[in-house]
Amino acid sequence: MTSLQLSAGEELLERFLDAAARGDLSRLTGLLSRSPRLLDRAGHSGWTALMLAARNGHFQVVETLLSHGCDRFSVNGSSQTAYDIAKFWGHRHISSLLARADGGPQRLLPASDFGQRETYFSRETLDRLSEKRTDAVWLEAQQSRPDSVYLLFSSLSPMLRPQQEDSPGGDAKLCRFGYETVKDLLQKPGAVLIFLGVEKRKKPSSSSSSQTEESIREPPAWFAINTDEEPSDLLKLCREANSFFPQRPNRDLLKLSEEEAGVLAQARAVLSWHSRYSFCPTCGSGTKPEEGGYKRSCLNTACRSLQGVHNTCYPRVDPVVIMLVIHPDGNQCLLGRKKIFPVGMFSCLAGFIEPGETIEEAVRREVEEESGVKAGPVQYVCCQPWPMPSNLMIGCLAVAMSTDIRVDENEIEEARWFPRQQVIDSLFRGASPAFTVPPRQTIAHQLIRHWIGMNSNL
């Protein structure tokens, strides 16, 4: 009896798939009304009714199957989606219909609280006190306080103390200076000073019954100075032996502790802006820094930038989308590599958001431009300041709608689909020296780790 039932079920499936392949809409809908489970069942080599209809260009059948909620992201034995098939056979009207992603692929993007987790460069250890930036008297008083902290930059590179073997994690440290050490530098014509904020107050103990002198006193203020003085002369200011200015900021600045990395991100991004915007974009005259280094104003009193709403120039932040693209089968991710990457390293695709563009559209455009893969649903995960020089990396997951890769060699050198297990081996076990992921301080690493953890106990 069981054998006859199976035989009848297989025959029903064959008739259903044949109707889809032939474009027989009335027959297909009749069979589907009798047995709704046929909708996403696959036949030979994993081909579903949607794939067969897409292969043969039957638009109405595809439209009907989609209206019944079929899974447009299922893949056949060749890892092709219905979208891949329609595009390969030149049925543009069907591929366009399938490209309007909604519903089904969201199963690959579960709700997540990852956005509550900190990323490197994002920890706020200072209270920025932005309301104090316009108080010139207060700022001047803070500059000369004996406990104020100064960070020293040369050509946008901070002075660092080397990693200490006995320090937690062996992190490098920012060199900190007092006012007496740097006051002569502040008078140099090329020096730029910015106010970073004040140290956050520690929460008072619940057992303390009265305010201590420490809690009443204003916390120390932090400043950053960028100067064009000779680095060798500046190094003489530091009492610590072997202090240095990083020559490879994209790598050396990842050696700081989480606490100091956040301060560095703020300081370096604002100083970098000053180095590039010393002239007025409206009339070309020189500009001067104001408001603790968070504003530049034109020195030409006749400049129209000083009138109305065009009266200031503020530090810029450049938004960048960085995304981990998930294969429709949910068990592979798309990673690419640039020629400048270390040997064997692959990372998430990324690109700048253009004016008038949403995060979601930027993700889809950049993925298709760089890899040829079409992305559908997009989910924001987290972000990371990246002071190289002033980017905000907006991390997302995206579900692929097609799987064929055609690399734009002007953008990246290579792109591949990596199986989940291979990524796990590289991420946690270092078992694949031919394939490595970016370092843990990068948002790309965190996105990859997040994807692995969505369906794993890791």
Q: Residue 62 sits in which domain range? A: 8-100
Q: For residue 305, what is the domain's CATH number?
A: 3.90.79
Number of other CB atoms surrounding residue 376 within 10 Å: 27
What's the confidence (pLDDT) of residue 379? 92
Q: Tens of pLDDT along 171-223?
A: 789 999 999 999 999 999 889 999 999 999 766 555 454 455 555 678 999 99
Q: For residue 51, what is the domain's CATH number?
A: 1.25.40.20
Q: Which amino acid is at 30?
A: G
What's the confidence (pLDDT) of residue 60? 93
Looking at the domain assignment, is residue 211 inside a domain?
A: no
Looking at the domain assignment, is residue 108 inside a domain?
A: no
pTM of the model: 0.78
Phi–psi pair at 344, nearest 5 degrees:
85, -5
Q: Are 147 and 271 in a shared domain?
A: yes
Complete DSSP assignment for 46-74? G--HHHHHHHHT-HHHHHHHHHTT--TT-
Q: Are 328 and 389 in a shared domain?
A: yes
What's the confidence (pLDDT) of residue 290? 93
Looking at the domain assignment, is residue 71 inside a domain?
A: yes
Strands 318-326 and 391-400: parallel
What's the confidence (pLDDT) of residue 194? 97
Q: Are 159 and 254 in a shared domain?
A: yes
Name the domain count of the chain: 3
Q: Are 304 and 324 in a shared domain?
A: no
Q: Are 188 and 284 in a shared domain?
A: yes
Q: Are 159 and 299 in a shared domain?
A: yes
d(C-alpha 142, C-alpha 83), whole Å: 62
* CB-neighbour burial class of residue 411 (10 A; exposed 0-12, middle 13-18, buried 19+): middle
Q: For residue 409, what is the domain's CATH number?
A: 3.90.79.10
> Which residue positions in the chain have pLDDT lower than 50?
1-4, 103, 115, 168, 207, 209-210, 457-458
Q: Are 397 and 283 in a shared domain?
A: no
- Alpha helices for 23-120 (secondary structure H): 25-34, 49-56, 59-67, 82-88, 92-99
Looking at the domain assignment, is residue 371 inside a domain?
A: yes
What's the confidence (pLDDT) of residue 198? 97
Contact between 286 and 360 under an 8 Å Cβ cutoff? The reply is no
What's the confidence (pLDDT) of residue 1? 42
Looking at the domain assignment, is residue 285 inside a domain?
A: yes
Q: Are 402 and 324 in a shared domain?
A: yes
Looking at the domain assignment, is residue 290 inside a domain?
A: yes
